[in-house]
């Protein structure tokens, strides 16, 4: 093989190795990414060892300008979107390098050697799909890691608009807000959701749309929450992709396990107590189902239904980490003070 061709091959092997190095680190910091990290390390070694003359030690750790570096600590969760971009950019880098190797070697009549790099490219494709799913799952779990889950309910908000209520919630440090307005016309809901998306994005809060998958997609919401009479979670996933959060209302262990099997990112557990905020609500499930969820539900869940300041401590004491409140917050004279008071109860 002529020296010039070898140098081109070496440059692309180095480029692929650089991308795999970043991806290996990224996978290593994902909760379930250990096996993918090992596979990426193995693929990187195979690619490096494919050269007749091996790369000098340390060359695969060179960082080209603009490549991006993944932080070497679990502080990465504070910037999950940056990590997702690193994932996409570095897999693209690997694919381009390996694709170039296939084309170069084919044109040089080295079809057997080209086939080896095509196999590496296909292996990288499979690893990208796996790591993307794992990373998205971690990213969504991080977004759901908070204490209070607030919902809009304009009819109970003492004459205030949903926008005013959401601003007060965000000012009080609420990290998840669900837009739930079933009776309004679509254009009005769309306009409200566009504004709420802007507010929640600026505040770094999660925005969930109730029931309407199309509306959630149109406004760029973080997630959609569906009920038992809506499309199943696996079909919704086909519409919204891996990055969007899907929540499912459940009222029994059977419904919980079905939602998990269909790929829900979290479930609603309730109603714990009697509630009138939903017209089609089922009977209260009480503490029995909540206790089941605490012990047996492996994904995040939110306790919901009739929860007030006077009973939230018991919900917390039973093991619920994320708790939804509707009228207790939107119907408060001072929403910020109410949230502060509720959080004091949770701390106690």
Quick: pLDDT tens for 285-315. Answer: 999 999 999 999 999 999 999 999 999 999 9
* Assigned CATH for 145-347: 3.20.20.70
Query: Which tokens sit at 235?
Result: 């079909």
Asked if residue 335 has pLDDT above 50, the reply is yes
Rounded Cα–Cα distance for residues 180 and 184 (Å): 10
| C-alpha to C-alpha distance for 70 and 43, rounded to whole angstroms | 19
pLDDT tens, residue by residue, 71-102: 443 344 446 678 899 999 999 999 999 999 99
Any binding-site annotation on 250? no
Give the predicted TM-score (pTM) of the model.
0.87
Q: How confident is the model at residue 64 (pLDDT cuts 50, 70, 90)?
A: very low
**Cα–Cα distances in angstroms (integers) from residue 147 to residues 100, 123, 345, in the given order:** 49, 40, 12
Bridge-based pairing state of the strands 245-250 and 301-303: unpaired
Do 145-347 and 3-141 fall under one CATH topology?
no
CA dist list (Å): 15 to 114, 173, 339: 17, 43, 51
The answer to whether 311 is annotated as binding is no
Q: Which two tokens stand for residue 42?
A: 């193995």
Percent above pLDDT 90 for the chain: 79
276 marked among binding-site residues:
yes
Question: What pLDDT, on a 0 to 100 scale, did the predictor assign at position 2?
Answer: 67
pLDDT digits (tens, 9 = 90+) for 182-220: 889 999 999 999 999 999 999 999 999 999 999 999 999
> Per-residue pLDDT averaged across 142-171, rounded?
98
Arithmetic mean of pLDDT, 256-284:
91
Distances (CA, A) of 134 to 29, 87, 111, 191, 263: 11, 11, 35, 34, 12
The pLDDT of residue 79:
66
Query: Is 210 annotated for ligand binding?
Result: yes
Three-state DSSP state, 348: coil
130 a known binding residue?
Answer: no
Sketch the domain layout of the chain as residue ranges. Answer: 3-141, 145-347
Place of tokens 């003359």: 53
Query: Which pair of tokens denotes residue 70?
Result: 């993944």
Is 179 within any annotated ligand binding site? yes
Q: Is 146 a residue whose pLDDT tops 80?
A: yes
Q: Which pLDDT belongs to residue 82? A: 83
In 3D space, the residue among 161, 196, 191, 164 whose CA is nearest the CA of residue 179 turns out to be: 196
pLDDT recorded at residue 59: 39
User: What three-state secondary structure class fits 327?
Assistant: helix
CA 161, CA 266: separation in Å to the nearest integer? 28
pLDDT (tens digit per residue) in 12-24? 999 999 999 999 9
Three-state DSSP at 101 gives: helix
- The answer to whether the CB of 203 falls within 8 A of the CB of 192 is no
| pLDDT-based confidence at residue 66 (cuts at 50, 70, 90) | very low
Q: Is 278 annotated as a binding residue?
A: yes
Mean per-residue pLDDT of the chain: 91
What is the predicted pLDDT for the residue at 313?
96
The CATH fold of domain 3-141: Ferritin (1.20.1260)
**CA distance linking residue 314 with residue 231, whole number of Å:** 33
Residues labelled as active-site residues: 180, 249, 278
Question: Residue 230 in contact with residue 255, Cβ under 8 Å?
Answer: no
């Amino acid at each position: 093989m002529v020296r010039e061709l070898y140098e081109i091959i070496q440059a692309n092997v180095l480029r692929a190795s650089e991308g795999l190095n970043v991806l290996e680190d990224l996978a290593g910091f994902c909760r379930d990414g250990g096996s993918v990290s090992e596979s990426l390390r193995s693929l990187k070694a195979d690619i490096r060892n494919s050269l007749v003359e091996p790369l000098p030690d340390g060359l695969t750790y060179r960082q080209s300008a603009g490549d991006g570096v993944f932080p070497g600590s679990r502080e990465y969760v504070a910037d999950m979107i940056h990590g997702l971009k690193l994932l996409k950019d570095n897999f693209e880098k690997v694919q381009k390098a390996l694709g170039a190797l296939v084309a170069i070697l084919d044109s040089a009549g080295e079809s057997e050697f080209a086939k080896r790099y095509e196999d590496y490219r296909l292996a990288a494709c499979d690893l990208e799909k796996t790591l993307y799913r794992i990373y998205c799952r971690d990213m969504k779990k991080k977004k759901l890691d908070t204490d209070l889950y607030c919902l809009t309910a304009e009819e109970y908000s003492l004459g205030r608009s949903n926008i005013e209520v959401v601003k007060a919630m965000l000012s009080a440090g609420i990290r998840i807000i669900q837009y739930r307005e079933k009776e309004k016309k679509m254009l009005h809901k769309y306009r409200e959701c566009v504004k709420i998306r802007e507010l929640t994005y600026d505040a770094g809060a999660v925005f969930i749309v109730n029931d309407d998958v199309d509306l959630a997609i149109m406004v760029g919401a973080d997630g959609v929450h569906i009920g038992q009479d809506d499309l199943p979670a696996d079909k919704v996933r086909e519409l919204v992709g891996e990055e969007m959060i899907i929540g499912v209302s459940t009222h029994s262990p059977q419904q919980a396990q079905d939602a998990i099997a269909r790929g829900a990112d979290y479930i609603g557990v309730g109603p714990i107590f009697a509630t009138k905020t939903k017209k089609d609500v089922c009977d209260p499930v009480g503490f029995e189902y909540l206790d089941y969820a605490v012990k047996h539900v492996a994904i995040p869940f939110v306790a919901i239904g009739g929860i007030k300041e006077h009973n939230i401590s018991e919900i917390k004491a039973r093991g619920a980490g994320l708790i939804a409140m509707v009228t207790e917050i939107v119907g408060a004279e001072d929403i910020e003070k109410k949230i502060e008071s509720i959080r004091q109860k949770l701390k106690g």
